Structure 1
Amino acid sequence: MTVRVLIADDQDLVRTGLRMILDAQPGVEVVAEAADGAQAVTLARESRPDVCLLDIRMPVMDGLQATRLLAGPDVSEPLPVVVITTFDLDEYVYAALRAGARGFLLKDAGPALLAEAVHAAARGDALIDPAVTVRLIAAFAGTERPSAPPSRPLTEREEAVVALVAQGLGNTEIGAGLHISLSTVKTHLASAMTKLGARNRVELAIWAYEQGIGTRR
């Protein structure tokens, strides 16, 4: 199955580079390009791509607003959004995840990680660049009031799994770090998502940050 991707970035050179990288990946096809957020929203609603790859800082409408309109909690048929940025403004990262972004990458993440993020978003999972996750938690630790504890608290092992998700680790790495099987990792993740009402790994990472457990091992 081919993953259809929309790219939105205000720099022609960046869009060209992203298109070349993605078109060279098996099972990925760039179907639309936009130079600003407003155009991205229009094209996305028309073409319904499998994944929207959005820059944050764009003219007319920035990537944050575009993400809210395409993937926010009030959108009846949300589209998967992966935000890609130079990460020059830390606060934008947290805002983008809150707006509904399913993944977050730095522009220097490399072709392999970019392709992995696109495929993850297309299948309903999420991928956060480990460097982004670490900087996100470091930038915002202690700057906002933690959210209320969940009505069904996580078990110690579930919390440990979620803390590693917040560090950007994949399921295989989490299993190796905690010495548990891959199926057990998935079971703990599913349980944590249900208890917290989280839609994906991004929201689990945000919860971990808010609870101050994102840097625990």
Structure 2
Amino acid sequence: MSEIRVAVVDDHPVFRLGMAGLLDSLPGITVVAHAASAAEARERVDDGVDVVLMDLHLGDDSGIETTRDLVRRLPDLAVLVVTMDEDDESVVAAIRAGARGYLLKSSSPEQVERGIRAVADGEAILGPQVAARAMASMMAGRTAVRLPFPELSDREREVLDLLARGYDNATIARRMVLSPKTVRNHVSNVLTKLAVPDRATAMIRARDEGLGA
């Protein structure tokens, strides 16, 4: 690839413009789009973009959902998450959504450049601070021998697990890096699929099946 065309998606203008300035100074990398929200990202990121630098928090929007939407529409697009979040849930959620890389905002300019070139070349890359923890979390998920509530999607099961721990929608949204509206929709779907009247009943059923531990 002779030139890597990059879009920077971040709701903080100082970081977004600073990152764009850094990238434009690098040989073979050109910033072709900026976005401060999920709506702007969906509007401005097209097949003229090779790599998206994606923050996970876009105001009231979720970078996870935005990543999933962009990758679904543009399968060849490489998304490199650059965020403050280093918890296991965020890393795994980003990779499941289709991100090819995950860096922290504390990464050096050299690490960011290396990450962009890697994902543009089809590689996957994780920052050194998160790689070991992310792999451990993903392997733990793969070794589960029994899947409770098979009628639920993976995302709905994650929501139910957090609900079973007693978390409210706002906390679930924060931990899963989703918008509150999306969490409300998932909770409603869970109640419908489990044929239970309320959250309390769903919590009891979930705990009976080992969730929420």
Partner Cα distance (1:137, 1:126) in 2: 13
Distance 1:68 1:16, change over 3 A: same
Is 1:29 aligned to 2:30, yes or no? yes
- Matched with 1:214 is none
123-132 or 25-34, which deviates more: 123-132
Q: Number of residues paired by the alignment?
A: 144
Q: CA deviation at 1:112?
A: 0.6
Spell out the pairing of 1:1-217 with structure 2 (5 A cutoff).
1-45=2-46, 48-72=48-72, 75=73, 77-87=75-85, 89-137=87-135, 140=137, 144=141, 146=143
Q: What secondary structure, in the 3-state scheme, does the structure 1 residue paired with 2:11 have?
A: coil
- For structure 1, the 5+ residue unaligned runs are 149-217
Give the RMSD, CA atoms, in angstroms: 2.2
Q: What secondary structure, in the 3-state scheme, does the structure 2 residue paired with 1:6 have?
A: strand
Identical columns (%): 37
- For structure 2, the 5+ residue unaligned runs are 146-213
Q: CA deviation at 1:59?
A: 2.4
Partner Cα distance (2:122, 2:138) in 1: 28
Q: Deviations over 1:71-124 (max 9, x none)?
A: 24xx46341110111125431111000111011101111111101111111111
Q: What secondary structure, in the 3-state scheme, does the structure 1 residue paired with 2:107 have?
A: coil
Distance 1:76 1:17, change over 3 A: closer
Distance 1:70 1:134, change over 3 A: same
- Matched with 1:168 is none
Distance 1:98 1:141, change over 3 A: closer
> Could you tell me the TM-score, scaled by structure 2's length?
0.61
Partner Cα distance (2:50, 2:44) in 1: 12
> Could you tell me the TM-score, scaled by structure 1's length?
0.60
